[in-house]
Each structure stands twice: as structure tokens, then as C-alpha cells.
Structure 1
Amino acid sequence: AWIIFLALVFRLMRREKITPKTRQALYLTASFIFGVVLGADPSSMGTVKDAIVLYGAKGVIFPPRLIALTVFLIMVFLANKFICAWGCQVGTLQDLIFRLNRRPKDNKGIWPQYKPPFALTNTVRVVFFVTLTALAFTWAFDMIDPIDPFKIYKPAVLGLGGAVFIGALLVLSLFIYRPWCHLFCPFGLLGWLVEKISLFKIQVDYQTCIACETCARACPSTVMNAILKRERLVIPDCFSCATCIDVCPTDSIHFRSGKRTKPPADKFKPKAQAASGNE
């Protein structure tokens, strides 16, 4: 099911056919099939969490989980964070909720939506990952289990504290893009590292780009600004949602293979500043 669905989305991405309505329909389909129908397991997050907890608490290496983790990371390598973007039960649910608070063109929130700095969100995620590992190895404690958001698909094992946490997470998803993925998910952290060498990714054609920055404003996070201007050493998570492709007025953004290029030095300078620099 994963391979077929992700192959379909990949084809739509390559053909640049993902519109706001298509995007919502795909997220709804993914969360229903992979969550409601197939259940909470397997999940990309669970492969990392279980590997850490099982080895830390019991010294056990569970090969099926490691194989699944390897397969999921290969998916990230082939197409930029595709398993997180379109195949994760919780990721697609968060994304769907976020899109419900968007205008019809999916370029702005109905109610204000916020883009926390990546330095902040990634620091929280790294600290969470380190704490998860330390508690597993020191006290054999699984800190994710009580608040595991994937339990939304098997509520019979969900405690009150977990229900409150997941409820808050889903409400937060209206205003912040994929909060679990950016702040807590251990696979999200590993996937962010692997996506640096992904084969297919969002790229900008600077020959036709008019530097209007419509894509960066419409992007649900800060990543498109980083991809567009290439001013940062570190590029945030890109979830290949194709919002940037859809809103670009000059069809200058594509999902394709190859190395990202950098814009001309004065591409995004204010016109007056660029003109004075040429005098």
C-alpha cells in the first residue's frame, strides 16, 4: 500500500499536478489508509524509538525494526522526506489539520499561522532525542510511550495524559506546521539528516524566477525561504508538500533530481540596492 500510494504522489509531484484540493484529498487518504485501516504500526517513528528503547532497556537488537528503519530511510533518500510527507499516519493527519486553517489557494492561514525558527525547533528535537536515549539506557524508560501520538489510531491503549497531549498537538497543528515532526519525532531528526543527500527534491530555476518570494510566503515553514535564497548553511526540514510549486507564478519551482543551484548574488536584493551596486 505504501509503495503504490507514494508512487502515485511521486508521479503527481513530477507532473506538478498537486493542487490545494488534491493535497487535502491525499492527506485524508493517507491518514485513513495507513492509520485507520492499517493501524498505528508500523510507523517510521516507531522504528527509531523501538530500536533505542529495546537496546537501551534490554540490550535487544530487533532485526525487523532495523530493516523497516532502513527501508524508510531509503525512501527519504530517493525522494525528499517522502515517507514523512505522504506515508506517515500522524504526519499526514497534522498536515491535513494545518490545511483546514488555510485559504482556498493554500497560501495563507485563515487564522494566523506561525513559523517558529528552525534553530529553536531543531534544538528542541535534538534535546528530546538525547533525553529519550539517555532515559532508555539509564532507567529503561520509554518516554514517548505515554504520549505516543500514533496511539490516536488505537485509543484503547491511550491513557488520559496521552489523550490530553495528542489533543493539544492536533489543536496546535492548526497554527504551526507539523509540530510533532519538527519538535519531537526521532525519525524526523534522522530524516532531516538524510534528506541532505536526497535524489529528488524541490529546486528553483533562477533563469525564470522573478524573485517575488510568493513561494516562501506560502510555504508552511521556513524551509522554502532557505531553499530559495540559499543564505543559510543549514536548510530546515522539507516535507515535499508542493505548495511552493503550486503558487509559483512563473512555474520556476520543480521536484526533480540533481544538485540545487544558488541564485545570482543580487537576485534577492532590493531593487534600489541592486541598482546602486551596479553603478
Structure 2
Amino acid sequence: MAAKTQRRERADVVSTTEGQRHGVLFNFLTSVSLCLRGKENHRVFASLRSSILMLMCLVVPSFGEFRFPMPEFSTGYEHPAVHTPEPSNAMVGWDVAVLIGALALASFLVLKRRKRNEILLLTLFSMVYFGFIRNGCVCSVGSVQNIIAGMVDSTYGVPLTVLVFFAAPLVFALFFGRVFCASVCPLGAIQEAVAFKPVKVPPAVEKVLSVFPFIYLGLTALSVVMGAGFIICQYDPFVGFFRMGASFGMLVFGGLMLVLGIFVARPYCRFLCPYGVLLNWCSKLSRRHAVITPTDCITCHLCADSCPYNAINEPTPAAEPEARSTGARRLGLLILLVPVLVAVGVGVGSLLKEPLSRMHPNVQLAERVAGEELGRYEGTNIESEAFRGSDQPIDDLYAEALELKEGFGIGGMWLGAFIGLVIGCKLISISILRKREGYEPDRGTCYSCGRCFKYCPVKE
């Protein structure tokens, strides 16, 4: 009777939670229908955002389902194998179709329609579909890891769907700018939904923090090459909300990121996202890109005030701020500085062999076992106990850890060289003065979100 009562109570909790989710989704769809019928006002969009936030808050009941491990038996009982069904080809094809359709629609809305509210509606759709319905996977951001794995390991097969999710946003960025970031990426969409009062980050601070996505990209490549795992997926701050369950630490991290996103627009996109590095490069070469005004700019500065990303470049003054010879000398010195920065990066990277190697679980295990042997730890943990129950000699584990550390030492030097090159190129880019007659979006950092469309007083 007690077991039946517990099951009944559990069913009541699940049904209540499902009812709450259905109610939130009903409110969301109602708000969308009002927008589509022309009722585009702040209350409607506030209702949309509130529905999304309520949906994210409902992860707590489902998170509790995974707290307790499976029971252990001493009678020789073995747990039956759990088989996870593969996604159907129809669903995979549908995901690809929705991705391509969303990218095409985003390009049309950004370049032709130029309506911020319509772009925001597509953003919310992408968050619901690619985020909550498809649980944030397949993810274009995480696909970077699969592509790197396929490049370094000939036995690793990259699924066609993953390849499309990796390549399609980059192809669209080459032609139309970062329309994927504008309203298709679920990670960017969930941050856009909470950006109620974004403030500007000082440009100098923005330039310094913009190096971190390159560091994250380098660490991602190093982790994949060394077999340490897919760290983008391990530390995705929003997948816990999309999948209605994650570790407590990751839920806290994601919650803090969303709270920060209220005041600092898209902190993950701007200061962490490794895929954004590739989109930035492609968007700089874009054939067409979002423009602030459809005609001549009247330099009213309203667009620059409305952009929370510091992604709008101001017009250059009529009088040149310095002589050309001065700028040429500075550029020459910075070019000569690049090899020095690369060499410094190599040296610093070689010193990070120990901390970088701890990215690999086998190195962590070897250090744990060694600590237990030396009496630094009391008792064992799950990993070390499982190792001691295996047939692998401790010396083999230590030898493998030493080999991995040497590999991470070489990888750390490559990582340092890459970061040194990035810093040098950024200094050169800052030093070059480009002539502009009006306010123009920075093709690399502009997310094509459409905020400037709304504030520009010049209409077609």
C-alpha cells in the first residue's frame, strides 16, 4: 500500500507539473497569435518573455528525478542494459529543414523586412523549438567538437545532420551576416529573452573580454585532440533548462548567466561562445549585411545608443586625428610585435602543462590514486574504487598520465601561440583607422538583432 501511495503521489506531481507546462505554452502561443494579428506592443512581448521564464522555472520538479543512483545488489544481480532509441530519419530531416527555413526567414527579416518585432518572434520560436522541444541538440555551437574530432581521427564519422548544423549558419553568414545569431541559435535566443535592461560594457573592457571566445575555442580543440571529452557540451550553461534536468552546479551557472544577461546582453555569446569566432570571421566577408538605415545616415547617434553590443562603428572625424606616417610607424611596430606575442604565448602555454592535463579524466584518476597511496585522501571515491577493482596495474595508469601530460604540454604551446597571434591581430585591427561617413554596424560583431532598425528615424 505504501508503494502504491508513493506512486500515486508521484503521478500527481508529474501531472501537476505537466499541466503547468501546458498552461505556460498556451499563454505563449496566445501571445504569438496576437503578434501575428498585428497587436505588436510591449505588453504582448512581456507576456512572451514571462511565459518562457515560467517554463524554465519548471525544471526543478524534473531535476529531482535524477538525484539518486541505481541501487547496488550483493546477490549477483545485473542491471538490464538500457537502450536509447536513435532519432528517426524523419525527425532528423525535419530538424535540418527547420534550420534552413529559419536561416532563410531570418535573412529575409533582417535584410528586407527590417522589423525588430518580427525578428524577435522568430527568436522565440527558435528557443522553443531548438531549445525546449529538441532539448538543445543538435547544436551548431557544439558541432565544432564533432568537426574537430572528424579532422583528427579518421575513424570518427561525423553525422550528416551535425555537418549541416555546423556548415549552414557559416554559409549564411558569408552571404547575409550573422543571421543565425539574430534569431535562430537557441543559446542566443534564451539570452535575448531575458535582456530587459541591457547596459553598455565599456569598449576597452569589451575588447579584452573578446579574447575569451578564442581561448575557449583553443581549449575545445585541445580537449578533443587529447581525448579529454567535449567540454562545450559539458559546460553548456543553458542545456539544463532546455532538457529539464542537469547537475546542480550547471543549473546555478546557467541561472547566474541568465541573471547577468538581464543587464549585460548575451554574455555567453559575446564572451564565451567558440562558434561565434567562426561566425565572426565569416560575417566579416559577408556579401550582404544588415545596414542601420536604408538611405543616408543623418548621424543622430540613436542607433549607437540602442545597441548594447558595442557593434556599431561611429563615423570618422572630418580632420584626420594623426599624420599617416605616424599611423604607418605604429602599424609596423605592431606587425613586428606579433612574433613576440606568439613566442610569449608558447612559453606561457608550456607552463600550463599540469593544469591543462587535468582536463583528461585519466590524469585526474592517476592523481587521485597517487594521493590515496600517499595518504593525502581518506578513503576512496567512485572512480578510484572502480579502478582498484579492475585488472589494470597502477604503474600503467601512471605511465599513461605522464604521456598525456607531455601531450598537453605540446598542445599548451600551440594554444599559447594561437592566443598570442589573436592578441596581435586584434591590436593591429584596433590601430587601423577606416574612413566612415555615417554609423555602420561592425560586420563581425553585429548580431543583426534589429534594435537599431527600430530607433533609426530614417525610413524607406
TM-score range, shorter chain: 0.7 to 0.9
Three-state SS of the structure 1 residue aligned to 2:447 is coil
Report what 1:247 is aligned to: 455
Question: What one-letter code is carried by the residue in structure 2 that aligns with 1:174?
Answer: I
Structure with greater helix percent: 2
Give the match for residue 28 of structure 1. Answer: 124
Q: Secondary structure at the match of 2:181?
A: helix
Change over 3 Å in CA distance of 1:229–1:44 after alignment to 2 = farther
Deviations 1:118-168 (A, max 9, x none): 322221111122122223333523332332135231133x21221111111
The structure-2 alpha-carbon separation of the partners of 1:31 and 1:68, relative to structure 1 and needing over 3 Å to count, comes to closer
Of residues 172, 177, 181, the one that matches 1:80 is 177
> Which AA in structure 2 matches 1:30?
S
Question: How far 1:213 moved relative to its partner?
Answer: 1.0
**TM-score normalised by L of structure 2:** 0.47
C-alpha RMSD over aligned residues? 2.8
C-alpha contact (below 8 Å) 1:56/1:133 kept by paired residues = no
Alignment of 1:59-138 (within 5 A): 60-64=156-160, 65-98=162-195, 101-102=196-197, 109=198, 113-117=199-203, 118-138=206-226
The structure-2 alpha-carbon separation of the partners of 1:115 and 1:60, relative to structure 1 and needing over 3 Å to count, comes to same
Q: Give yes or no for contact 1:6–1:87 (8 Å, CA) kept in 2.
A: yes
2:38 — aligned with what? none
Asked which structure has the greater CA Rg, the reply is 2
Partner of 1:153: 242
In structure 2, the gaps of 5 or more residues are: 1-97, 318-429, 435-441
Unaligned residue ranges in structure 1 (runs of 5+): 103-108, 253-279
Cα distance in 2 between the residues matched to 1:230 and 1:62: 46
CA distance in 1: counterparts of 2:110 and 2:234, whole angstroms: 36
Equivalent-residue separation in structure 2 for 1:34 and 1:44 (angstroms): 11
Q: Distance in 2 between matches of 1:150 and 1:56?
A: 28
Whole-Å Cα distance in 2 between the matches of residues 29 and 191 of structure 1? 21
2:287 counterpart residue number: 199
Change (3 A) 1:197 1:160: same
**1:55 to partner: Cα distance:** 5.7
TM-fit CA distance, 1:63: 4.9
Looking at structure 2, the residues matched to 204 and 89 of structure 1 have their Cα atoms a distance apart, in angstroms, of: 25
Aligned residue in 2 for 1:208? 296
1:22 to 1:206, Cα distance in 2 relative to 1, 3 A: closer
Displacement of 1:211: 1.2
Identify the range of structure 1 (234-243 vs 83-92) with the bigger mean alpha-carbon deviation. 234-243
Aligned pair 1:37/2:133, yes or no? Answer: yes
User: SS where residue 290 of structure 2 aligns?
Assistant: strand
Question: What is the DSSP-based 3-state SS (H/G/I as helix, E as strand, rest coil) of the residue aligned with 1:60?
Answer: coil
Deviation at 1:116, TM superposition (A): 4.8
User: Could you give the per-residue CA deviations for residues 3-42 of structure 1, whole angstroms, max 9, x where no partner exists?
Assistant: 33333333333344414x4444332222112212233111
Structure 1 pair 206–13 and aligned structure 2 pair: CA distance change class (3 A):
closer
- Counterpart of 1:4 in structure 2 is 101
Amino acid in the other structure paired with 1:208? D
Higher RCO (Cα < 8 Å, 6 or more apart) = 1
Say if 2:122 and 2:184, in contact at 8 Å, map to a contact too. no
- Equivalenced residue count is 237
What is the aligned partner in structure 2 of residue 271 from structure 1? none
